[in-house]
């Protein structure tokens, strides 16, 4: 009996390290495949190079880094105000019973496959932009709008959780001092839940930078430095997604190297968000 218990505990301990183990494997293999090429052509040439012509052995990902951040920035312009509005709406403005109906709707928003959003962007947004603003339609603007919508569930749920986690005395105290409900929300509750809200935005940012398939469908994928929201663009993720199917040799390594860059950005954002939400707990 005691023997069996010991064995079970050991098995569970091993299981518990599975996620760390997988994270380690991912890191190892992405770097093993990607680093040699970065070192071969030089970190600077790779990160700051503006030309990506695999047939000529030119691998510069600078335009993709810029495009990734540009699309993400656009997504946040839409996602932060809408997400915060929804979070406040759910936690403060509507009765909990209505929230019980709305929350599954937001979960559904998260459950819809990203290709569906991409497809909708392609058939609805792209022609709309083309007709009203000119340009190819397949553009950063279209990508940002779709992404802004896709990161909403992340921003809403985490912000709402941190608003809900505040002690009720904060609200009671502010109202007792004669603040209006809105002043209480804006000047007391939101600042108090700040680190959770910021964490939600950073995680949303991570989601936006990491999104691939929807972006391949609507960004247009041209490798060039973006100059306006109406330009088509290629991000780090879409670069991998588009070319992985047929790349080999140095070219394939260059795609893993693109993955290395993406991995660094994501890990930086993750660590930041995790440390922020830890602070919330203490």
- Span 43-102, contacts to another protein by CB under 8 A: 81-82, 85-86, 88-90, 93, 102
**Please, which residue, 107 or 228, has the CB nearer to another protein?**
107
Decide: 150 and 104 in contact? Cβ < 8 Å. no
Q: Minimal CA–CA distance to 54: which of 261, 240, 262, 250? A: 250
- Span 207-236, contacts to another protein by CB under 8 A: 207, 209-213, 216-217
Cα–Cα distance between 44 and 240 in angstroms, integer?
Answer: 20
Decide: 71 and 215 in contact? Cβ < 8 Å. yes
- Span 96-115, contacts to another protein by CB under 8 A: 102, 104-105, 107-109, 111-115
DSSP reduced 3-state for 234: coil
CB of 227 to another protein, least distance (A): 26
**Please, which residue, 6 or 228, has the CB nearer to another protein?**
6
The number of helix segments (H) and strand segments (E) in the chain equals 16, 2
**Please, which residue, 231 or 253, has the CB nearer to another protein?**
253
| Alpha-carbon torsion angle 83, 85, 91, 93, nearest 10 | -160
Q: Does 29 bind another protein (CB under 8 A)?
A: yes
CB of 213 to another protein, least distance (A): 4
Q: Report the residue from 69, 73, 120, 170 that binds another protein according to the rule CB under 8 A.
A: 120
Q: What share of the chain is helix, strand, coil (3-state, %, to 5)?
A: 80, 0, 20
Q: Report the residue from 39, 133, 225, 270 that binds another protein according to the rule CB under 8 A.
A: 270
- Span 178-207, contacts to another protein by CB under 8 A: 180-183, 186, 203, 206-207
């Amino acid at each position: 009996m005691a023997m069996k218990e010991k064995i079970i505990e050991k098995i569970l301990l091993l299981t518990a390290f599975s996620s760390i183990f997988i994270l380690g494997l991912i890191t190892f293999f992405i770097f093993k495949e990607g680093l040699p090429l970065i070192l071969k052509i030089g970190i600077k040439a790779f990160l700051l190079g503006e030309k990506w012509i695999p047939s000529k052995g030119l691998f510069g990902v600078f335009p993709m880094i810029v495009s990734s951040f540009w699309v993400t920035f656009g997504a946040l312009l839409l996602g932060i105000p809408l997400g915060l509005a929804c979070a406040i709406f759910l936690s403060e403005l509507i009765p909990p019973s209505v929230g019980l109906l709305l929350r599954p709707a937001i979960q559904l928003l998260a459950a819809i496959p990203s290709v569906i959003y991409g497809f909708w962007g392609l058939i609805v947004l792209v022609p709309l932009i083309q007709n009203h603003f000119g340009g190819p339609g397949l553009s950063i603007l279209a990508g940002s709008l779709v992404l802004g919508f896709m990161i909403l569930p992340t921003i809403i749920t985490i912000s709402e959780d941190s608003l809900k986690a505040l002690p009720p005395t904060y609200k009671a105290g502010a109202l007792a001092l004669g603040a209006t409900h809105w002043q209480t929300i804006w000047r007391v509750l939101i600042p108090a839940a700040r680190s959770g809200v910021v964490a939600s935005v950073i995680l949303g940012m991570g989601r936006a930078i990491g999104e691939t398939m929807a972006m391949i469908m609507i960004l247009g994928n041209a490798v060039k430095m973006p100059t306006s929201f109406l330009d088509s663009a290629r991000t780090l993720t879409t670069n991998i997604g588009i070319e992985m199917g047929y790349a080999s040799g140095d070219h394939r390594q260059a795609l893993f190297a693109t993955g290395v860059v993406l991995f660094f950005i994501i890990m930086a954002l993750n660590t930041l968000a995790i440390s922020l939400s830890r602070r919330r707990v203490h």
